[in-house]
Amino acid sequence: AQTVTQSQPEMSVQEAETVTLSCTYDTSENNYYLFWYKQPPSRQMILVIRQEAYKQQNATENRFSVNFQKAAKSFSLKISDSQLGDTAMYFCAPAGPTSGTYKYIFGTGTRLKVLA
Amino acid sequence: KAGVTQTPRYLIKTRGQQVTLSCSPISGHRSVSWYQQTPGQGLQFLFEYFSETQRNKGNFPGRFSGRQFSNSRSEMNVSTLELGDSALYLCASSPNEQGGKEAFFGQGTRLTVV
């Protein structure tokens, strides 16, 4: 079974600074995908970034990038130039073909607060 | 393009009753998944439907059921409601069978059981 660990329940960062959220997971899949979703106070889940496990290159999406270490099963999210709108819960989620590609196993989340 | 629509947004039910929640996916999306979010258990997968067939199921009791219609709209039903069923229920739709693409989430239905 897949498990996901987000060891930082809460974090805060000053506006314009950089913050890294950690995530480790366990899976028996070889080919899978990794996602970071954010959930702002509106409660709507929004995709932040996506990584394909077979790709060695770390995914980047504007101010968001990941550090994907497949052997260590680690998938951290780096937010650069933090903005007030980045305040949200952040969830890490692997998904794979055996478990069902759209069956996300979410971590417990990291509550990020960006301070003005 | 309209997003994922969940109705109703808020619901209050009495213990022992049953409830039906609805989810209309993004046009063209054939996969619909349901999640339960509670402060204690976090986000937990309930089930996923693709082309009217349940493809995946989470570890929930049989009181939780769902279905998908030919137009990809999905409903989930909870019978004999318990206080612990109070949660935010999220629906997500995805574009195709092969996966790897993001799931688009609705705004959720907040269910309160009293």
Q: What is the torsion angle, in degrees rounded to the nearest 10, for the CA atoms of residue B3, residue B6, residue B8 and residue B13?
A: -160
**Cα angle value A106/B83/A38 (rounded, 5°):** 25
Please indicate whether residue B93 or residue A102 has the higher confidence score (pLDDT): B93
CA A72 to chain centre: 15
The pair of structure tokens assigned to B3 is 């997003």
Among positive and negative, which fits the CA dihedral A96, B93, A76, B44?
A: negative
Q: Considering only CB atoms, which chain A residues are within 8 Å of B109?
A: none
pLDDT at A98 over 60: no
Dihedral angle computed from the Cα positions of residues A51, A6, B32 and A61, in that order, rounded to the nearest 10 degrees = -30
A37 within 8 A of A90, measured Cβ to Cβ: yes
Chain A residues closer than 8 Å to B99 by CB? 33, 95, 97, 101-102
Contact B100 A45 (CB under 8 A): no
The mean pLDDT of A32-38, rounded to a whole number, is 92
Say which amino acid occupies A99: S
Whole-number pLDDT of residue B100: 61
Please give the average per-residue pLDDT across B20-47, as a whole number: 93
